[in-house]
Amino acid sequence: GYPRGVSTFEALIAAQDRVEPRDEMPGDYRATLVRQIAQHAHSEIIGMQPEGDWITRAPSLRRKAILLAKVQDEAGHGLYLYAAAETLGVDRDDLLEALHTGRQKYSSIFNYPSLTWADVAAIGWLVDGAAIVNQVPLGRCSYGPYARAMVRICKEESFHQRQGFESLLTMSRGTPAQHAMAQDAVDRWWWPSLMMFGPPDAESPHSARSTAWGIKRFSNDTLRQRFVDLAVPQAEALGLTLPDPDLRWDEERGSWDFGTIDFTELREVVSGNGPCNEVRIGRRVAAHEDGAWVREAAAAYAAKQGTRGAA
Ligand code: FAQ
């Protein structure tokens, strides 16, 4: 029965069981989840921008409809995740405030520009691909509401990944100029996609504790390697190359060796110095301010409904 005490928390974690909102939990467990779920939610809504930039410029009605639906899915993912964070006792307004003032992070990947139409396809293939590899294990994380949010998110993201692959394949098999555009997009998005998995294990301050608590099921480097192993044969199927001369099949490990990642770039982008950080936050804040009247109207309507119910 509820609520279950802190000693039960240890038992739940040991049994790989789920922790639910009304269970007692250590303050640091709660804080870690708020940090990660909020960062994840922020990534989804900031992540609407690079692709959103192409909605008015999609090359056909069909591609435009697909892109609109994908960007709307990302808004939905943000909402599930903010709702999951709220089960931990935080307020959505406070989380948005933390995003807008830079106190909470969002994924480094969304600070890169989408320069051509092929970038939309490369984002679907690589960024959604990396997101799925990272998030499928989160579906088994110890916190119930976060784990359950992952089920639908991963299903939708795997559809997004396939549409990106299909779009990239169409361009790769198109005219020489279209093929070159697809290759250029992959060249620019490959390394930033590998950085999505976070710093190397040895430099990941949260990993040990998050693993002990069953929030993380695999390390940053393990998931990064899994992603590379999936992407290499897919690139071949696309007829495109990955911009890494050190990619080599390692017979012994049964995995692809890859070149050195420039983690200085990740640090720079995360600390606000990526190519698009200012644009992304500026637009997010403007959208929030533009939406003030909707929030006010909704609150006024809710208050009026409340009065009627009481009368
Ligand atoms: N960018 O000790 P660790 C999507 C931070 S997918 C920015 O390893 P942790 C879908 C980290 O927060 C993208 N910051 O940390 C989509 C920590 O900062 P703090 C979103 C990063 O938490 C597709 C510090 O570095 N997915 O949106 C990054 O154990 C297409 C130390 O790192 C998620 O958020 C980074 N790349 O592991 C949408 C997944 N990497 O708080 C639109 C959930 C690390 O100490 C279009 N999150 N940091 O100041 C996670 O799985 C984990 O939080 C990790 C990091 C693996 C990202």
Pocket-forming residues, ligand 1, beta carbon under 6 Å: 35-36, 39-40, 43-44, 47, 74, 105, 107-108, 123, 127-128, 131, 134, 195-199, 204-207, 210, 216, 220, 270
**pLDDT at position 4 over 90:** no
Q: Could you give the CA distance from residue 145 to residue 18 in angstroms, rounded to a whole number?
A: 9
- Tell me the CA–centroid distance for residue 105 and ligand 1, in Å: 8
Q: ipTM of the assembly? A: 0.98
Q: What DSSP character marks residue 4?
A: P
Above 70 in pLDDT, residue 51? yes
Distance CA 143, CA 156 (A): 21
Q: Is the pLDDT of residue 1 over 90?
A: no
Q: Which comes out higher in pLDDT, residue 262 or 7?
A: 262
Residue 255 neighbours by CB distance under 10 Å = 14
Give residue 92's pLDDT band: very low, low, confident or very high (50, 70, 90).
very high
The residue whose C-alpha atom lies closest to atom 44 belonging to ligand 1 is 198
Global confidence as pTM = 0.96
Distance CA 165, CA 160 (A): 9
Q: Which two tokens stand for residue 243?
A: 């911009």
Q: Whose CA is nearest to atom 3 of ligand 1?
A: 204
What atom in ligand 1 is closest to the CA of residue 35?
41
Decide if pLDDT at 308 tops 80: no
Going by C-alpha positions, the residue among 7, 13, 1, 35 that lies closest to residue 143 is 13
Identify the band that residue 272 occupies on the pLDDT scale cut at 50, 70 and 90. Answer: very high
CA distances from 28 to 31, 140, 209, 213, 262 (A): 5, 20, 10, 10, 31
